[in-house]
Structures are given as structure tokens and as C-alpha cells.
Structure 1
Amino acid sequence: MLLSTYRMRIRWHVPKIIFPSAFSQERLLHLKKHKEKWTWTMPQGHDTGIKVKNSYLSTRKLAPLIVKDPNYVTWYACGPTVYDHSHVGHGATYLQFDMIRRILTKYFGLNIAMVMGITNMDNKIINRALLYDKGFMEIADTYESTFMDDMKNLNILPPTSFLRVTDVIPHIVDFIQDIINKKQAYVTGNGNVYFDYNSAHQSIAKLMGEYFEPDISMKEKRFEKDVSLWKTARPGEPYWDAPWGKGRPGWHIECSVIASMCFGNNIDIHTGATDLRFPHHEYEVAQCDAYHRCQQWVNYFLHTGHVKVTGDVKMSKSLGNFVRIVDFLNDCQDPDILRLLCAHNKYTKNFKISDKLSEVEIFFASLTSLLKQCKDIGSGRIKAKVNTPRIEQAIQVFEKGIIKDFQDDFNISQAFTKLRKLMKQIETGFVVQDAPSDVVGVIKAIFVIENFLDNLGFTFHKRI
């Protein structure tokens, strides 16, 4: 499949000169306070022993992962906008977080409640419906269904709950009204509602460290970085009734409301791809800070890197350079290949499938062959002399080592490096010969490797 190359355009932003006379003294003091650097506060609770790359922190230093309650860890995951098929980039993000979720559960004993929001009303859905002369919800329902099928085919654990935007509109309206009442959002003459960036009760620049000066030249919006909370419906568009007029919610407010509905004024973990850091997650947090009047609505933001197509261009539906998950799975020798690709890459890093696909396929074949041989020896179909002490010692080193890797920001790729070493020790730990021998070491090797694969969501070993 040929993937197109796209040139990235860089647009330089030249800030406008703002004269103090444009604002009241009170407003200027508020802006000064708004610029003050916000500092992440380490939460109180259960120390998991894991250190993670928290996107709140600009340094490379990892932060201890502390959850409020190990028996009820709250996790909000941004879901898809369902206007087209999911692609491999989406699949990689959900696979990486699926493995992290399984690690937290299987190796560190946490019980996780995960909620995912589904954006089933959006400009892209409306445009697709108009293009194909179909109903808006027909488009959304169709691609939500294909997304669910893709997640199932990738063996990704479903969240505790899916919530669709169209099912929570009354909650969104109430949420927006509360922010308006707190004077952190405003209604325009056209019935649009915007979040007032510069009235936020604390700095918005939590995830990206960006601050934007007001632009008094804007017409409807007070400031170019004020984001839409409610969009007035245009002719032919779907709408819901609200105190400000007929319309529909903006994108960022949807996740703010869904997550708040389920978890209230504080969440342990929030996840998504790195392109969601700004503006989506930045404004999502700001809106919830305003609504809940809290200082730290989310304790930990974890973000994945992108699947790159060529150079620095990410795989994207909007760029049209994507490979559908269903097509990738049809072309692969096993559905677990994509999970294995993700496991060989640090979740926070970008990667190109073409760079590691051959390596992963060779490893997959080697591991499959070893497991098959071990099962043949264990069942007596092949006679072999097994060096059980040597294999057991290698297993002990492996099991201790992967825990340390998982504690190091879920370093799954390093754990697979240790698996490769274990495989070599097992291969040299038996000799095929036509003589009776115990198979204790081989049976234990099968158990440990398959348990490791099970815990990370792999299934191919069950088909050997």
C-alpha cells in the first residue's frame, strides 16, 4: 500500500501589541495572576511503586504513580470521533494503553474503573452525512460499530462504561450554564457560547506551558483562544435546545462533562494520544477547574506517541494517509502482530511500522516455534533431556526483571528484551534425544511465557 508524503507548513505567530487602556486595572491584575505558573501537586494515597511520565511535568524526571484507592482507580480515556474507519494509529494508542491497564491490574493488583467518551456528533460527522446523503446518526452508528469490532479484533479490554455525547446533552447544557454563572464563559448575540480563556481562575498552561495574550480585534469572540462550548446550529444541521438557542456542544466540553459525570472533581489517570495535549486536554482541564473550582482535576496525564508514515508526518484520517485496522489485520500473519509492534516501542515515542515490522515478524516466528517445541517435549511427542535447574534460574531472573521494567514507566519493550534472553536460555536448556527425562523445566517455561503473554493481552500462543 502506498502512503502519500505531506509537507508540513509552519505558521509563525506574531503577538499583537495590547495597550493597557483596553482593559480595566482589575482585568490586568487577573491576567497577571492567570500567567502565574501552575505547579503539579503529588496526590496522597497508595504508592504503586511505578514511576511514570506525567505530561504535566516538562522535565524528563518520572513521577511516582500514586492513586487514591488501589481498589478503585479512576481512568478516563478519550474515545474516537466516529465519522470514518479507525486506523492503525488509533489502534496503536488503544493497544498501548490496554497493555498498561493490564499491567496495573495483573502485576500491581489495582482495580480500575475506566470510562471512554464517544464523540458521535461533530462537524466531521455532519460533513460526511451531507456528502453521502445519509442521516447524521446513521454515519455515527456505523463507524461506532466498526470501532467496536476493531477493538474486539485487537483483543482490547472494553472500558467499564462507554458514554456517547448525544446521550448526555442535558448534562452538557447544565455544565455550560454553571460555567456561565461563574463568569468563565459568555454567550454571544448569535447564541454561541465560548469559554473565556482569560477569566480562568488559574493558569490554563498546565500541559503545554503556553499562554496567549488577548486579541481585541476579534469580533464575536473576546479572544482568539476562547473555545466553543455551544455552537449555534446552521440550517440543515442537527441541534438540541438550550437556554442560549438551538445548537450542539463543542468538542472539548464533551469530555469534561462525561468524565465529571462519572468521576466527579478528581481523576487518577487520563489518557490519549499526544496530539490531544493541546488544545483538547488543556481546555478540558480548564473547563473542569472552572466547574469544580478545583486546582488539579486530573492527577496524571499519560500520552502516547504517533504512528508515523514518512518523516515526521503522522498517520491521520484528516490527512488521508492512513491504513485501516481491518486492512492491516487482513494483511498480517496474526492479529497479535500490531500488539507486538506496540510492545517493541516505548509508548510515549513515535514509531514507523515499516521500521520494525520485519524484526517483529521474525521474533513472532521464533517465539511461536519455541513454544511449539516446548509443548511437544512437555507432551512427550518429542523426547529431550531437560536441564531444569538452568531453565528455572533463567525464569527467576526474567520474572524479577520485568517487574522492574514495568515500574520504569511501563517499559514493555525492555521486558521483551528480557524475554528474548529467556528464550535463548530455554533453547540451550534441553537437548533432543531418544531417552526418557523429566520435563519440569519445559513445563514451567511454557507456563511463565504464556502467563506473560496472557497478562499483556496476547492470544496467538493459544492457537499453537
Structure 2
Amino acid sequence: MLWARRPGPGTPLLRAALGLGRRGRSWQRPEGQDTGVQVHNSLTGKKEPLIVARSDAVSWYSCGPTVYDHAHLGHACSYVRFDIIRRILTRVFGCNVVMAMSITDVDDKIIKRANEMNVSPASLASLFEEEFKQDMAALKVLPPTVYLRVTENIPQIVSFIEGIIAHGHAYSTATGNVYFDLRARGDKYGKLINTVPSATTEPGHLHVKGKEEKMSKSLRNYITIKDFLQTFSSDVFRLFCLHTNYRSAIEYSDSTLVEARHLLLGLTSFVEDARAYVKGQLTCGSVEEDVLWERLASTKKAVKAALANDFDTPRAVNTILDLVHHANRQLRAVSKEAGGPRSPTVFGAIISYVEEFFETVGISLANRQCVSGDSSTVTLHCVVDELVRFRLKVRQYALATPGATGEARKQQLQERQPLLEACDALRQDLVTHGINVKDRGSAASTWELLDPRTKHQKPGN
């Protein structure tokens, strides 16, 4: 491992290798294509244009895990944030990201843990590497283009360190450790420390609410990703991460996750209500269509500007929520009878945009998510569709009293009350099996799958 000691005067070669510009005084804008994104430059302390050599092959190095233990939410925070930025660069700004992620599969911690478990270091590293990949998949983190394991690149690593020593920027000790020679780096070494982590390894930490400490194995206050996903979904965690800047620490608590869950539930409910309106299953008063078109256009513009401003996801999400709030108010003016002008097109456009935005950052608002994806899923949907249609016909019969008035109508409704009670009982029973039926007046009923972790919530919540 390469360590750091002893400050001293700087040298031009290391400055140039680190891309710090002449004498380390300023940042030199590289040549290439401007992505249209401004990002925080930890050297200058300002936002600078993100310039890439070519947008069809943007190289990204991500420091991966040291695989000796279970991954926890601190890791999840970093990798989900990286994934969100990668998705934004790809899907919003047209960059084709080629990502390489290192896997440290030989290390003192790995050897120590392997000895404790009486297994080989290689076996232990392989086990936790695979578990890490499974955790990332569960969090919907896109895999890198290539994994680079330390054990597969030791000759290149040794050669690189030998080159640093040969140029006078590091030295070895009698025990075999190698240290940076900070006398050769001088007062510029702080810029090395400040620049590298913010770009590759530490976009902020996960802090435990009420404690001045970050989540870590050494503090014994960490939550494994697998345990977390027993209670909350990956979509909830992503929304939780989106509400803070990628460079800031996140304060973790159950209440903040519950808040994110409720927010996601509200978004999913809006999409389902808006879709029901488009399909004619939800009736409401006349809609201010011109106002909604204008809000949709301004939202699109504001969201892209926020993402271009150092990936300002909190601002982007709040802008989307504002659009949803105003559109939802239009749907809340429900009328009992259909008729009058309708505006399905604008709501269809809003649905499409809201779903597209959250899909871009890895969150699905679809109400019929399935794990298996096989033919049994299709069969399930068809059966539930038929069941809900049959139940709707029974309700409509129980509520209809054509031609009857006064006491006769009252008598008919009393006689049919058991049918309505049976419909209500069926709806409650279906909730037990993860299916929620919504009666939208007497004209239509819709259904959705519930998340088994929170029986009364929708998928992703």
C-alpha cells in the first residue's frame, strides 16, 4: 500500500501528473467536448465545465470495495449516488460512460478475517465480492463496464509504484511499506488529498441521526444492505439519496426513510390517478389545460438546468413535485357524473415525463412490478383483471335502482346490501394477498400490486 509522510517542497512532475496546472496555482481547462454540465472543482472551490475527451466514450474510474465483510448503507449511499450521476450523464446529457471499478481482493483486513474464519483469503474475497454485486443489483446500481481486481493487476501496480519511487516521489521502508515523500510534494499535497476522494471515492457520508459519527463497521453502528432491504425498497433509498447533494453527508434515521416512502407513495398514487383519468375511469371538473401545458414545459426546462448545475437533484425533484402538486389539484375536483370537456392528452404527457424522469434516476413508478417476469405473471394479471371486472358488475347491480323511487328504492338497496358487503369483504381479502382494488365511483374499479414489505403501500414504497 502507498502511504504518505513528511511534507517538503513540491515538484513539477507530480503536479503535472495530477493535472493541477502550472505550479499548482490554478486549474487548467482541458481540451475536448463540453458536456453542458457544471461540476464542483475541489481544487478551485468553484463550479467548472465538465469537459470530456469524447462524449461517446467517457471514461470513469470508481474505487470499489475491499471485499472482507458485508456491505452497509454507507457503501450504498456512495454507489447509489454515483449511479444516479452516471444515469444523468448518459440519459440526459448523452454521454456514453465507460466505467472501470476496482475490487481490492487482497488486503491485510481480508487476510485477518480469512484467518479468523479458517478459510483462504481468495475464497473469502470471492464470497464477499459476489455478495457486493448482489447488493448492488438489489439497489439497481448499474454494473461497471469492467471490474479490475487487485490480484489480477499486481505486476502493473508494482511497476507503477516503482516508477513513483524512481522519480523521487515515494520511498520504501525495511518492512516493505511504501510511502509518499511529502518533502517532494510540499504544500501541494493537500490538493492531492482534496481532489482525489471527491472525484472517485467519497461523495459524502451516511451519518446516524443524533450522533456525531458516520456509519462504519468499526463503530458497530452500520446496517447491512440486505437487512435494510427487508424494510425499505431500493426506490425509497434512491429518493432518500436524491433529496441531498451528492457531495454532502446524509443524515440517516427511520423517520427520514418513512418520509421518503410516503413521498414515493404519493407520486405513485398521482400517476395511477392520472392514468385512470386518461382512461376515462376517473371523472373530475374541467381542467385548466393551458396552465398545465405551461407548467410541464417550464418544469422540463428547470429540471435540466438543475441537473446541469452540479447534479442538483434536490432541486430537480422538488420541481417535479411542484408539477405533480398542481396537476393533482386538478384531479381532486372530482364530479359524480361524467360529461363535459376532458383533457387526457396533457395528463398523458405529464405521466410520461414524470415516469421518464424517475426511470432516468433508477426509480420505477409502475404499479405492476414483478420479480419473475415469466408467463405466470401474465396469467396473474389476467385473472385479477377478470375478478375485478366481475366484482364491478356486482357492485353496479347492487347500486342501480332504475325506475325505483322512495320506499321502493330504499327497499331494493336494503335487499342488495349483502352484495355490497361481499364486494367490500373481497377487497379486504385481496389486500392480504398483496392486491389493492380501488373503486372509482360506480363506473370503474382499478387494481395494483402492494409491496410485501409494507402491505398497505404500493410497489417501490
TM-score (norm 1): 0.69
Cα distance in 2 for partners of 1:33, 1:182 equals 8
The structure with the largest alpha-carbon Rg is: 2
- 1:53 equivalent among 40, 46, 69: 40
- After superposition, the C-alpha distances for 1:139-179 in whole angstroms (9 at most, x for unaligned) are 11111111101110111111111111111112122223333
Residue identity opposite 1:412 in structure 2: T
Cα distance in 1 for partners of 2:279, 2:60 equals 43
Question: Cα–Cα, structure 1 residues 168 and 29, in superposed 2: closer, same or farther, change >3 Å?
Answer: closer
Superposition map of 1:205-216 within 5 A:
205-208=190-193
Whether 2:310 is the aligned partner of 1:409: answer yes
Please report how far the alpha carbon of residue 202 of structure 1 lies from its aligned counterpart in structure 2 after TM superposition: 9.4
Question: Cα–Cα, structure 1 residues 391 and 132, in superposed 2: closer, same or farther, change >3 Å?
Answer: same
Question: Cα–Cα, structure 1 residues 56 and 172, in superposed 2: closer, same or farther, change >3 Å?
Answer: same
Superposition map of 1:129-208 within 5 A:
129-200=114-185, 203-208=188-193
Cα distance in 1 for partners of 2:10, 2:40 equals 32
Structure-2 residue corresponding to 1:339: 238
Farther-moved stretch of structure 1 (408-417 vs 170-179): 170-179
Contact 2:67–2:125 (CA under 8 A) maintained in structure 1: yes
Please report how far the alpha carbon of residue 32 of structure 1 lies from its aligned counterpart in structure 2 after TM superposition: 12
Whether 2:36 is the aligned partner of 1:67: answer no
- 1:104 equivalent among 89, 94, 109: 89
Structure-1 residue corresponding to 2:280: 380
Specify which structure has the bigger relative contact order, considering alpha-carbon pairs within 8 angstroms and separated by 6 or more residues.
1
Superposition map of 1:361-380 within 5 A:
361-380=261-280
Cα distance in 2 for partners of 1:71, 1:33 equals 30
Question: Cα–Cα, structure 1 residues 135 and 209, in superposed 2: closer, same or farther, change >3 Å?
Answer: closer
Cα distance in 1 for partners of 2:171, 2:107 equals 21
Structure-2 residue corresponding to 1:279: none
Farther-moved stretch of structure 1 (181-190 vs 107-116): 181-190
Structure-2 residue corresponding to 1:272: 201
Structure 1, unaligned runs of 5 or more: 1-14, 19-27, 211-251, 256-268, 274-302
Cα distance in 2 for partners of 1:305, 1:338 equals 14
Please report how far the alpha carbon of residue 318 of structure 1 lies from its aligned counterpart in structure 2 after TM superposition: 2.4
- 2:212 equivalent among 312, 335, 348: 312
Question: Cα–Cα, structure 1 residues 199 and 114, in superposed 2: closer, same or farther, change >3 Å?
Answer: same
Structure-2 residue corresponding to 1:43: 30
- After superposition, the C-alpha distances for 1:200-226 in whole angstroms (9 at most, x for unaligned) are 59943314479xxxxxxxxxxxxxxxx
Residue identity opposite 1:325 in structure 2: I
DSSP 3-state at the match of 2:262: helix
- After superposition, the C-alpha distances for 1:271-292 in whole angstroms (9 at most, x for unaligned) are 221xxxxxxxxxxxxxxxxxxx
> What's the RMSD between the two structures over aligned residues?
3.0
Please report how far the alpha carbon of residue 37 of structure 1 lies from its aligned counterpart in structure 2 after TM superposition: 4.8
Contact 1:55–1:207 (CA under 8 A) maintained in structure 2: no
Residue identity opposite 1:272 in structure 2: T
Contact 2:79–2:141 (CA under 8 A) maintained in structure 1: yes
Cα distance in 2 for partners of 1:440, 1:169 equals 59
Residue identity opposite 1:432 in structure 2: V
Question: Cα–Cα, structure 1 residues 177 and 404, in superposed 2: closer, same or farther, change >3 Å?
Answer: same
Farther-moved stretch of structure 1 (94-103 vs 198-207): 198-207
DSSP 3-state at the match of 2:201: strand
Cα distance in 2 for partners of 1:206, 1:113 equals 26
Structure-2 residue corresponding to 1:432: 334
More helix by share: 2
Structure-2 residue corresponding to 1:325: 225
Please report how far the alpha carbon of residue 80 of structure 1 lies from its aligned counterpart in structure 2 after TM superposition: 0.7
Cα distance in 1 for partners of 2:279, 2:144 equals 38
- 1:88 equivalent among 59, 73, 91: 73
Whether 2:343 is the aligned partner of 1:444: answer no
Please report how far the alpha carbon of residue 460 of structure 1 lies from its aligned counterpart in structure 2 after TM superposition: 4.0
Cα distance in 2 for partners of 1:422, 1:402 equals 11
Structure-2 residue corresponding to 1:400: 301
Cα distance in 1 for partners of 2:231, 2:258 equals 14
Whether 2:364 is the aligned partner of 1:459: answer yes
DSSP 3-state at the match of 2:36: strand
Question: Cα–Cα, structure 1 residues 191 and 356, in superposed 2: closer, same or farther, change >3 Å?
Answer: closer
Residue identity opposite 1:321 in structure 2: N
Residue identity opposite 2:297 in structure 1: Q
Cα distance in 2 for partners of 1:30, 1:416 equals 44
Please report how far the alpha carbon of residue 55 of structure 1 lies from its aligned counterpart in structure 2 after TM superposition: 2.0
Whether 2:113 is the aligned partner of 1:128: answer yes
Please report how far the alpha carbon of residue 407 of structure 1 lies from its aligned counterpart in structure 2 after TM superposition: 1.6
DSSP 3-state at the match of 1:314: coil
Superposition map of 1:5-16 within 5 A:
none
Whether 2:319 is the aligned partner of 1:390: answer no
Cα distance in 2 for partners of 1:364, 1:194 equals 48
Please report how far the alpha carbon of residue 193 of structure 1 lies from its aligned counterpart in structure 2 after TM superposition: 4.0
Cα distance in 2 for partners of 1:330, 1:157 equals 21
TM-score (norm 2): 0.70
Cα distance in 2 for partners of 1:114, 1:32 equals 29
Residue identity opposite 2:347 in structure 1: V
Cα distance in 2 for partners of 1:176, 1:133 equals 32
Cα distance in 2 for partners of 1:419, 1:105 equals 20
Cα distance in 2 for partners of 1:32, 1:378 equals 65
Cα distance in 1 for partners of 2:88, 2:286 equals 31
Contact 2:240–2:257 (CA under 8 A) maintained in structure 1: yes
DSSP 3-state at the match of 1:397: helix
What is the aligned-residue identity percentage?
34
Residue identity opposite 2:237 in structure 1: L
Residue identity opposite 2:32 in structure 1: G
Cα distance in 2 for partners of 1:376, 1:30 equals 66
Contact 1:118–1:164 (CA under 8 A) maintained in structure 2: yes
Farther-moved stretch of structure 1 (319-328 vs 32-41): 32-41
DSSP 3-state at the match of 1:163: strand
- After superposition, the C-alpha distances for 1:245-268 in whole angstroms (9 at most, x for unaligned) are xxxxxxx9xx9xxxxxxxxxxxxx
Cα distance in 2 for partners of 1:33, 1:370 equals 57
DSSP 3-state at the match of 1:84: coil
Please report how far the alpha carbon of residue 38 of structure 1 lies from its aligned counterpart in structure 2 after TM superposition: 4.5
Cα distance in 1 for partners of 2:148, 2:191 equals 26
Cα distance in 1 for partners of 2:13, 2:96 equals 39
Cα distance in 1 for partners of 2:67, 2:128 equals 5
Contact 1:305–1:347 (CA under 8 A) maintained in structure 2: no
